[in-house]
Homo-oligomer: A and B are copies of this chain.
Amino acid sequence: MLILVTNDDGIRSPGLRALQQTLQELGTIAIMAPDRERSAVSHALTLHSPLRAERLAEREFAIEGTPTDCINLAIHGLLKQTPDLIVSGINRGANLGDDIIYSGTVAAAMEGAMMGVPAVAVSLECLEFDGDELARAAEVTAGIVRHVSRGGLPHGTFLNVNVPKGHHRGHRLTRQGRRRYPDQVVEKRDPRGRAYYWLGGGGSEFESLPGTDFDAVRQGYVSITPLHTDLTNDKSFPTLQRWGGGNFFVESL
């Protein structure tokens, strides 16, 4: 089994190395990761400039691009063989609720799923990595990878895994939680008196709904959320079909 490991914290991240070490018992590891941190780049693709790939070892490349670039280059270019599985992480900090849409870690797994490769994104709740925490999270990942490699995943589906700090209380199958938006912009002045702005000043808060990723991690469980790439909101069809007394749309689903 060929396992492609990537992340958005960059190729030197200890999270990536923890995965490499633990998952090599399950198969051959290929690494293709950004050459430096690329957090919050979401699903960005580099189309306007060419990409360089530095070969660091057999099946190991540092890419001057985003996590999504890495998956594209791996599958359509640099790997001789399509990987059987993609694991993205271990991310420094949880990727929960609506915030996953900003995450490069999650985007890499999604890109794999779009190309038909089963994929798992893994994030660890703590912001400071420590060896024990990482080893535990890598073991959790290995357990999940064993299940995925045995049974596969439904078409277009990938897993968003969040591991809590410390010893976990088991695995929970969860839904994507919902973010509550605080004020997020901090205004500053430069020495010449002109304004500039920082985003993300407020930090994230989530609605504490039972069954969500956020709720599981908060209670010490490993959260496993099956996600897919289809954003269609089926449930909104009936409402929209009533537009213009039912005459706005010429044909309906």
Contact = CB atoms under 8 A, between A and B. Distances in A.
Interface of A: 39-48, 50-53, 68-69, 72-73, 76-77, 98, 100-102, 107, 110, 114-116, 147, 151, 153-154, 156-157, 169-176, 178-179, 181, 183-185, 187-188, 194-200, 211, 221, 224-237, 239-244, 248-253
Contacts of A188: 50
Given A173-B240, A173-B249, A53 B101 contact: no
A248 B147 contact: yes
Nearest to A211: B253
A181 B115 contact: yes
A146 to B, nearest CB: 10
For this chain, the copies found in one complex come to: 2
Nearest to A216: B251
Query: Helix, strand, loop or mixed for chain A's interface?
Result: mixed
A94 to B, nearest CB: 16
29 contacts: A39-B47, A40-B47, A41-B42, A43-B101, A46-B199, A50-B197, A51-B197, A51-B198, A69-B199, A73-B197, A101-B114, A114-B179, A147-B244, A151-B239, A154-B239, A156-B178, A157-B233, A157-B236, A172-B249, A172-B251, A174-B253, A224-B240, A225-B232, A226-B232, A226-B240, A227-B233, A228-B231, A228-B233, A229-B231
B102 A44 contact: yes
Contact of A154 (B172, B233, B250): B233
Contacts of A53: 195-197
